[in-house]
Amino acid sequence: MSESDTSGPAVVLLSGGLDSMVSAAIARERGMAVHALTIDYGQRHIRELQSARSIAEKLGVKRHVELPLDLRQFGGSALTDDIDVPKGGIGEGEDIPVTYVPARNLVFLALTTAFAETSNSRDIFIGVNALDYSGYPDCRPEFIDAFQTMATLATKAGVEGRPIRINTPLQYMTKADIAREADRLGLDAGISWSCYDPTADGKHCGLCDSCRLRSKGFAEAGLVDPTIYAVQPPKA
């Protein structure tokens, strides 16, 4: 979706990760008051909820909603079920890894759209990325375009000619680009969280796909990685 040029409120899907933090900061930079939605879906890496709170505070969001939605009742993912998180490297095994949470962004964007409509917001920001990512189908541009159409058809705002726009400012950025953007925006990337399988003492594991992509991004950007890893991620 094209970049928004409005100064009205924006609703950001804030997971606590680096991508969502940068997306929220971009919305703020564009002059929008930021409302943030964080979903507590029973994820293995629940530590990211603490990061979401820290990010919301640092960015001065106008309203931060934490919504419980226990997807452990469904299972089917290494993030919500008793399934080991892969540690063998990016792209190991199946094309779509077991860390995929079935229809997560479909469900989350529907909830974010409802929050946006009740907040009188015409702009949603989501930090999906289609370059350096794990191959999840609900991160692809085709999905975002299809959801945009659905959101326009399914909401009062859309029917009345005020469609809610889905902004994806990081869609075609590499992880290095995102790390550079965090640096440009003056963000403390160290308060964000990426790891799928944190250690008992609260460190990034260093070996899951998300840790590897994070580390690769900072390295390729030529920036210091502020992340504390239990094991230093192997160089890609």
Interacting residues of 71 by C-beta distance below 8 A, sequence separation 6+: 41, 42, 43, 77, 80, 101, 104
Query: What pLDDT, on the 0 to 100 scale, is given for residue 1?
Result: 43
CA distance 36 to 34: 6
- Structural domain includes residue 63: yes
- Structural domain includes residue 190: no
- Structural domain includes residue 82: yes
- Structural domain includes residue 95: yes
Query: What pLDDT, on the 0 to 100 scale, is given for residue 131?
Result: 81
pTM, rounded to two decimals: 0.94
Domain region containing 122: 10-175
Query: What pLDDT, on the 0 to 100 scale, is given for residue 8?
Result: 74
Q: How, if at all, do strands 165-167 and 34-40 pair? A: unpaired
- Structural domain includes residue 94: yes
Query: What pLDDT, on the 0 to 100 scale, is given for residue 93?
Result: 53
What pLDDT, in 10s, does the model give residues 6-34? Answer: 557 999 999 999 999 999 999 999 999 99
- Structural domain includes residue 212: no
Tokens of 26: 């971009």
Q: How far is CA 208 from CA 85, 97, 168, 229, in A?
A: 7, 11, 25, 11
Query: What pLDDT, on the 0 to 100 scale, is given for residue 2?
Result: 42
Q: Which CATH number covers residue 82?
A: 3.40.50.620
Q: How far is CA 108 from CA 1, 31, 102, 181, 205, in A?
A: 18, 24, 11, 24, 26
Domain count, the chain: 1
- Structural domain includes residue 90: yes
Residue type, 165: R
Q: Are 192 and 214 in contact (CB under 8 A)?
A: no
Query: What pLDDT, on the 0 to 100 scale, is given for residue 94?
Result: 57
CA distance 91 to 135: 8
Residues in the chain where the model's pLDDT stays below 70: 1-7, 91-94, 132, 236
- Structural domain includes residue 198: no
